[in-house]
């Protein structure tokens, strides 16, 4: 990737149709309405951006340019605020300062993912976005209208979340349609795992969640570790694990809040198994170096494996998921490597 490094949710409810209509401001048929939309953005962002006579210019100044597509200072400010709300941490200048570089990297990745989806003619429908929004609202114990009103009351325009959802769905579609069909798991690989699990009947199963930060090259290892440690600091300060995972994890489980469900001894890479063996329910691990990056683990619960039958279908699915995640990470790394990214803040 060619880039310069950065310097450093009651009000009236909004319906799903209204939410989708907001998103359509970005479609060619609604260009005539963009002026009022931009004015709304400026007004909402006043609480976040400096109160100066140059507010409008500052709001739409490029924070980064990704293959000629602009990420504005306003885009970045809204996403930082969304990350703070999603993670459940207190808003402060210091928190914003620490989160901004990671949020910007996430926005850059989303632009690259949407551009790749466009190149492959993969579209995301409004229904897909609406269904995902409904799930997120339910996970937060709210109706869609309540959830979106909460965002507005925190100074976050709905398109901030909608654009993030759209990019996640687009990338998942690329992974499932283009990458997953290339993975072949042999009977021998399934049998090897089945034999190992059979030898551990009566052992402990763990329900876990993860936040993954990738390492693309040896030169970026220190920065990736620093990013992972900043996330760990937020968790220790009370941040919501699922919220941080949704915003910052680079694993395929990010859209699930990092949830990996129940895993058995021997089901994960050895370095993760060793860390989990030292953890109790509710514990969060420090960043654990693995083959392709750093993983922060949350141990949610424990139970004893009471001799359930070996599920070969599950084994094959888990092996496939692992390979797909690795391939997706490599694909993302290639998009970053070949992109023309100019960071301007």
Domains of the chain: 16-178 (1.10.4030.10), 202-306 (3.10.50.40)
As a whole number of angstroms, the distance between CA 155 and CA 144 comes to 17
Can you give the pLDDT at residue 344? 92
Q: What is the pLDDT of residues 285-337, one digit of tens each?
A: 999 998 889 999 999 999 987 766 778 898 899 899 989 988 998 999 999 99
Give CA separation, 308 vs 99, 191, 200, 248, 305, in Å: 43, 16, 11, 35, 7
Q: What is the pLDDT of residues 48-80, one digit of tens each?
A: 555 555 666 778 899 999 999 999 999 999 999
Which among 54, 56, 35 is positioned nearest to 45, based on CA atoms?
56
**Confidence check: pLDDT of 17 > 70:** no
Higher pLDDT, 7 or 281: 281
pLDDT of residue 50: 53
| Rg (alpha carbons) of the chain, rounded to whole number | 21
pTM of the model: 0.75
């Amino acid at each position: 990737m060619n880039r310069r490094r950065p310097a450093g949710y009651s009000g009236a409810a909004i319906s799903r149709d209204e939410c989708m209509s907001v998103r359509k401001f970005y479609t060619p048929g609604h260009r005539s309405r963009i002026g009022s939309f931009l004015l709304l953005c400026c007004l909402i962002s006043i609480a976040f951006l400096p109160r100066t006579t140059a507010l409008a210019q500052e709001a739409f100044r490029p924070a980064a340019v990704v293959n000629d597509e602009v990420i504005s200072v306003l885009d970045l400010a809204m996403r930082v605020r969304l990350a703070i709300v999603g993670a459940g941490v207190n808003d402060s200048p210091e928190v914003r300062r620490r989160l901004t570089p990671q949020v910007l990297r996430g926005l850059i990745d989303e632009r690259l993912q949407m551009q790749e989806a466009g190149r492959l003619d993969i579209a995301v429908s409004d229904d897909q976005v609406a269904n995902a929004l409904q799930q997120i609202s339910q996970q937060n114990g709210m109706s869609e209208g309540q959830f979106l009103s909460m965002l507005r009351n925190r100074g976050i325009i709905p398109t901030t979340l909608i654009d993030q959802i759209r990019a996640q769905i687009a990338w998942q579609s690329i992974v499932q349609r283009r990458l997953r069909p290339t993975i072949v798991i042999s009977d021998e690989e399934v049998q090897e795992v089945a034999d190992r699990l059979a030898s551990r009947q009566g052992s402990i199963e763990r329900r876990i969640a993860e936040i993954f930060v990738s390492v693309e090259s040896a030169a970026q290892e220190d920065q990736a570790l620093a990013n992972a440690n900043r996330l760990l600091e937020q968790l220790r300060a009370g941040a919501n694990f699922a919220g941080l995972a949704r915003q910052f994890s680079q694993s395929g489980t990010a859209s699930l809040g990092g949830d990996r469900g129940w895993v058995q001894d021997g089901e994960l890479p050895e370095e993760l198994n060793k860390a989990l063996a030292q953890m109790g329910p509710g514990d969060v691990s420090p960043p654990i170096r693995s083959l392709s990056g750093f993983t922060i683990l949350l141990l949610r619960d424990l139970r004893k494996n009471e001799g359930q039958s070996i599920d070969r279908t599950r084994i094959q699915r888990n092996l496939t998921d692992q390979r797909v995640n690795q391939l997706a990470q490599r694909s993302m790394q290639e998009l970053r490597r070949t992109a023309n990214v100019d960071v301007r803040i």
